[in-house]
Chain A
Amino acid sequence: MKRKKMKVLSAILPVLFMLVMISSAYAQTQFDPKLISAAKKEGKVTLYNSGDREAGEALLKAFKAKFGISGEQYRATSNKVLSKVMEEIEAKNIYADVLCTGSPNVLRLSQKGYIAKHDCQQAKFYPASQQTEHYVNVTGIAMFIMYNKDLVSEKDAPKEWKDLINPKWKGQIVMPDWSASTSPLILFQMFKDIYDTEFLKKAGEQKFIIHKAHGAAANAVASGENAIAFEMLSDRIAVEVKKGAPVGYSVPTPVVFNPRQMGITKGAPHPNAAKLLMEFALSKEGQKIYNLDYWLYSFRSDIQYPPEMYPLDKIKLYDFTPKMWLDFTDNMPKLIEEANQYWLKK
């Protein structure tokens, strides 16, 4: 009996060993060994991120554990990331290696020739519509309505955008600053497209409580200081839920889906480490760390969402065509002025 067991074991062990070797080799082949070696020589990478700092830190930590390359992060609102990069380009003193920011900032920089072309190996796992030769949409962020469950019952919670203009919520709604962050401005654009100006006016009458960034707006709702966030990014909701804060969210129709674009700065001080970080962020492993832990939707077809994440196929997305993104890019200053007219307190 004992001998039989030993025979079975001696047959299984080599197979197991082979399997481990194959999977390890597979893991290595995901990333070009030459690129890894060149990146290691550079030894460092800097990520400019407009998303949640903790998500960025998690990505860089995993990247360091895998490749031994340490990463630095500059986190700010999307427009601040953009202005910082422009300053660096102007000073010819570039620190940004990889940019990861909400649409359409990387697109905007690529139009000006400030983003390097990169033949990304992982891009083949992404739909053609989610990439150009300059950048890939590394994640998608859905904009939901967030509320504090201690202040608003699930039954009463606003379900659709039009519910938010109900006068009973006057003075209780927070909104991230549309001159600092592009998401609320994209929403403003969508409202312009699908509703009449009356909706915009009535929304303005709610006397929004403005916060500089989504994080601060999310905190105001999570703490119970304010009842509702007019729009909240899915990653911010995830952060508050993880802390145990009493927050809930509604999925209105349609939902704006803002792709977070990732690209490499032209003239980046660590171009190979930048490429490797981008490959890693787009890989299945990177997507699991970066995206799913923070409720960021992945464009990869082979990603399984965690059960607590709202299924993407049940969300009716607003169709922002590439042309609309480009128009939006061109019209941003005008849109800010327009939003000021409707939404700033008189």
Chain B
Amino acid sequence: MTRISRLEKIGNTLKQINVGFLIQFSVSLLVLFMVLYPIGWLWLGSIRTEPFAPDYTLSWYLKIFSDAVLWQRLTNTLKITIGTGILSLIIGLPIAWIVARTDTPFSKKFELIAVVPFMTAPLIGALAWTNLAAPRTGLLNLLYRFVFDSSLKHGPLNIYSMWGIIFCLGLYYSPYVFLFTAGALRSMDPALEEASRISGCNIIRTTFKITLPLVYPAITSGVLLAMVFAAGQFAVPALLGTPAQFSVMTTTIYELMNRWPINRSLAAAIGNLLVLFTFLLLYLRGKLLSKGAFTTVTGKGYRPDIIRLGKWKYVTFSFCLLYAIVVFGLPMFALIYSSLVKYWSVKIGLHRLGFWNYTYLFTEHSLTFVAIKNSLLLAVFGATACIFISSIISFIVHRGKSRWTPLLDYVAMMPIGVPGVVFAVGVLLGWIRPPFVLYGTLGILIVGYISRFNPVGIRAVSSSLVQVHPELEESSRVAGSSWAGTLLRITLPLVKPGMQAGWMTLFIVFLREFGISLFLYSPGNEVVSIMLYEFWENGDMMKASALSIVLMVVTVISIIIMRRLTGADIAGMKS
């Protein structure tokens, strides 16, 4: 090739480069960097004697399998992951069936309550359940002993145990099973069910022999997702497991990063094992979803029959009511009561109620307003920046023709399988030293939040984008509009609902974010969840309850304002 023809080629390439390409290219690079850089540091840190030392070793991985304490914590993680999967199935599946396929009264209301756990952080849920089921002073235990057996000194419930952790996680992750299953139940082809009933099978037999096997992939998908989140949970095992000396991998990572001497390499090695485990679960889920088992759930707009339960509808109603009480009523009552007493005691009475904790929060504690301001700032700006990035990535993934597109999709979605505390270790290692020092600024929190939760935004925007046929955009381009013009005039208005829903979901996720914040915050950058954790660590459970109520009020007010302004819904509720 002559020098002139080479120059011509470069000239032609430069002509082809336009604003659209530049934006897509730079956002793609940014996302690849934001995800791969911390994950790369996690792997590098785990195979070095110290993350920033030049000596390489595999001893940290060997230690995990040879150290009896660490091995036990690994098995504990497996136990709560499996337990959560089973419990989320036991709770989520019947609720989904009742809400989607039966004439149970108030089923629409129960549907709303079923997604309440999305709105409240697991940390708050665990806090509420310590007030309800602490062995000696939990409100439910006090009630049981008062009514049934005053000779008992504690129990019968004990939230500070492995079972307590599984209960809390199962309760708070059951909406994943519920949402996936309810969606599949609503869109399935009713022909097979009808055939079963015509053949003489009753409702129960038809449900177990026909309906459930048909939606099996959706159920399993929800269960596996609940298990992924359970394996990476930190707050619930920390709150409920510590008193029982029950540690898991996430709490061990926290311990290693906050003790003397700090052992970041071992923390990174444990984190990587956890990532491998969650990726295995996600791989299984992907395999299931890619199988043809969904062929009877085609999304063709079937309207399966609503099953008339007769007098049995009172049984299903009672089940839903019990769920509503357990997931919403009892925790809310416990939090409100706890927020109104000066100190927790077995002596219960109206005379003990007052607003001390709220007064303390708003008049004495120097961090309250700082933390609320920081949380709102991160939620608003973080969600806005994240949805911008997610939209571009989503656009590239669904409209791009490059052979690198699947890789970008895979990398951008990768953090969904990386637990928050593990990802935070990677972000800390990556952004603490030159050349990229963001440690100690709000910037590191924004970077951490966006990199980790970008998949949430991508999923929300993608769900809208796949419904927009590319022909519309192509027509615009043919008519002479630029990439940016097409994006602004055609694509964006059509995917706006998805973007709004994604923004709203990200806003809520960022407002209550805990795992990443715990590792990356600095004085002045505290967020509400950090204050909550500090209250718990300091034994100020009543103040923690008051702050939880404040956080929930702020969340609900924000949602109402956003819905009024945009009419947007929460993406997680639908996708």
A interface residue numbers (CB < 8 A to B):
46, 48, 52-53, 57, 60, 72-77, 79-80, 82-84, 86-88, 90-93, 95-96, 105, 108, 150, 174, 177, 179-180, 208-220, 222-226, 236, 240, 243-246, 332-333, 336, 340, 344-345
Distance from B496 Cβ to chain A, minimum over Cβ atoms (Å): 40
A245 to B540 Cα, complex, angstroms: 13
Chain A residues whose CB sits within 8 angstroms of the CB of B343 once the complex forms: 219, 222-223, 240, 243-245
In the bound assembly, the distance between CA atoms of A179 and B69 in angstroms comes to 14
- Contacts A74-B522, A212-B238, A333-B260 known; list 13 others, CB within 8 Å: A60-B366, A88-B522, A90-B433, A177-B242, A180-B259, A211-B242, A213-B538, A219-B540, A224-B345, A225-B136, A226-B136, A340-B69, A345-B245
Question: Contacts A210-B243, A211-B242, A333-B261 hold; do A57 and B366 have CB atoms under 8 A apart?
Answer: yes
Cα distance A83–B256 when bound, in Å? 10
Q: Nearest 5 CB-CB pairs, A to B? A: A219-B539, A215-B538, A215-B539, A223-B344, A91-B439
CA distance in complex: A208, B160 (Å): 13
> Which residues of chain A have C-beta atoms less than 8 A from B244's C-beta?
209
Chain A residues, CB < 8 A from B345: 223-224, 245-246
User: What residue of chain A has the Cβ atom nearest to residue B246's Cβ?
Assistant: A345
Is B149 in the interface zone, CB < 8 Å from A? no
Taking a contact as CB atoms under 8 Å apart, the answer to whether A211 and B243 are in contact is: yes
Distance of A117 Cα from B136 Cα, bound (Å): 50
Question: Which B510-546 residues have C-beta < 8 A from chain A?
Answer: 522-524, 534, 536-541
Q: Are B258 and A225 in contact (CB under 8 A)?
A: no
Q: Which residue of B lies closest to A239 (CB)?
A: B539
Q: Tell me if B440 and A80 are in contact (CB < 8 A).
A: no
Residues of A within 8 A of B258 (CB): 76-77, 79-80, 83, 180
Contacts A91-B437, A95-B440, A210-B243 given: A83-B539 contact, CB under 8 Å? no
A contact residues around B201 at 8 Å (CB): none
Q: A88-B440, A225-B137 are in contact. Are A219 and B255 (CB under 8 A)?
A: no
CB of A224 within 8 A of CB of B259, answer no
Closest A residue to B160 by beta carbon equals A209
Cα distance, A53 to B262, chains bound together (Å)? 24
Given contacts A88-B440, A93-B439, contact A215 B245 (CB under 8 A): no
Contact of A215 with B437 in the complex, beta carbons under 8 Å = no
Q: Out of B262, B365, B522, name the residue touching A95 (CB < 8 Å).
A: B522
Residues in B neighbouring A180, C-beta threshold 8 A: 255, 258-259
A213 — nearest CB in chain B belongs to which residue? B537
Q: Specify the main secondary structure of chain B where it touches its partner.
A: loop
Distance (Å) between the CB of A240 and the closest chain B CB? 7
Q: Given the complex, which residues of A lie within 8 Å of B439, measured CB to CB?
A: 87-88, 91, 93
Contacts A223-B344, A333-B261 given; does A75 touch B534 at CB 8 Å = yes
Contact A212 B69 (CB under 8 A): no
23 pairs, A vs B, C-beta closer than 8 Å: A53-B534, A77-B258, A77-B537, A87-B439, A90-B432, A91-B437, A91-B439, A93-B440, A210-B242, A216-B538, A218-B539, A220-B539, A222-B344, A223-B344, A224-B136, A224-B344, A225-B136, A226-B136, A240-B343, A244-B342, A333-B260, A340-B69, A344-B245
A269: min CB distance to chain B, Å: 10
Given contacts A95-B522, A219-B539, A225-B136, contact A332 B437 (CB under 8 A): no
A160 to chain B, nearest CB (A): 25
Query: Within 8 Å of chain A (Cβ to Cβ): is B257?
Result: yes
Shortest Cβ distance from residue A151 to the other chain B in the assembled complex, whole angstroms: 8
Contact of A83 among B69, B260, B534 (CB under 8 A): B260
Please give, as numbers and ranges, the residues of chain A lying within 8 Å of B261 by CB-CB distance.
333
- Which partner residue on chain B sits nearest A150 by CB separation? B346
- Min CB–CB distance B251 → chain A (angstroms): 10
Known: A215-B540, A333-B261. A73 touches B523 (CB 8 A): yes
Does residue B237 face the partner (Cβ distance < 8 Å to A)?
no
Which of chain B's residues 413-447 have a Cβ closer than 8 Å to chain A? 428, 432-433, 437, 439-440
Interface residue ranges of B366-399 to A (CB < 8 Å): 366
Does chain A have a CB within 8 A of B134? Answer: yes
Is B364 an interface position by the 8 A CB rule? yes
B498 within 8 A of A: no
User: Given A57-B364, A210-B245, A211-B243, are A75 and B538 also a contact pair (CB < 8 Å)?
Assistant: yes
Q: How far is the CB of A216 from chain B (nearest CB, A)?
A: 4
In the complex, which residue of chain A has the Cβ closest to the Cβ of B360? A54
Q: Is residue B135 contacting chain A, with contact meaning CB distance below 8 A?
A: yes
Residues of chain A with a CB closer than 8 A to B428's CB: 87
Most chain B CB atoms below 10 A, which of A86, A90, A213, A216: A216
A74 to B433, CA, bound (A): 22
A255 → B minimal CB distance (Å): 22
Q: For residue A224, which residues in chain B have a CB less than 8 angstroms away from its CB?
A: 136-137, 344-346
Within the assembled complex, what's the spacing in Å between the Cα atoms of A244 and B243? 24
Q: Which residues of chain A come closer than 8 Å to B433, judged between CB atoms? A: 90-91
Query: Which A residues are CB-close (under 8 A) to B437?
Result: 91-93
Contact partners of A87 in chain B: CB under 8 A: 428, 432, 439
CA distance A245 to B344 in the complex (A): 9
Q: In the complex, what distance in Å separates the CA atom of A91 from the CA atom of B433?
A: 5
Q: Which of A46, A88, A213 contacts B539 (CB 8 A)?
A: A213
Neighbouring B residues of A79 by C-beta, 8 Å: 258-260
A294 to chain B, nearest CB (A): 13
Q: Separation in Å of the B551 CB from the closest CB of chain A?
A: 19
Q: How far is the CB of A334 from chain B (nearest CB, A)?
A: 11
Min Cβ gap A79→B in Å is: 5
Cα A150 to Cα B428 in complex, Å, equals 46
Segment 322-380 of B: residues with Cβ below 8 Å from A: 342-346, 364-366
Contact status B537-A95, CB under 8 Å = no
Q: Could you say which residues of chain B place their CB within 8 Å of the CB of A215?
A: 537-540
Bound Cα distance from A217 to B345, whole angstroms:
15
Contact B365 A57 (CB under 8 A): yes
A91-B440, A333-B261 are known contacts. Are A225 and B537 too (CB-CB below 8 A)? Answer: no
Taken together as a complex, chains A and B put the C-alpha atoms of A345 and B245 apart, in Å, by 7
Tell me, rounded to whole Å, the shortest Cβ–Cβ distance linking A105 to chain B. Answer: 8
Residues from 257 to 303 in B contacting A, C-beta threshold 8 Å: 257-262
- Determine how close the nearest CB of chain A comes to the CB of B556; give it in whole angstroms: 28
Rounded to whole Å, the gap between the CB of B227 and the closest CB of chain A is 26
A209 surroundings in chain B (CB, below 8 A): 160, 243-244
Q: Provide the bound-state CA to CA distance between A55 and B255, in Å.
A: 26
With both chains docked as a complex, state the minimum distance between the C-beta of A341 and any C-beta of chain B, in angstroms: 9
- Tell me the minimal C-beta distance from B489 to chain A in angstroms: 45
* C-alpha spacing A343/B522, complex, angstroms: 33
A329 to chain B, nearest CB (A): 9
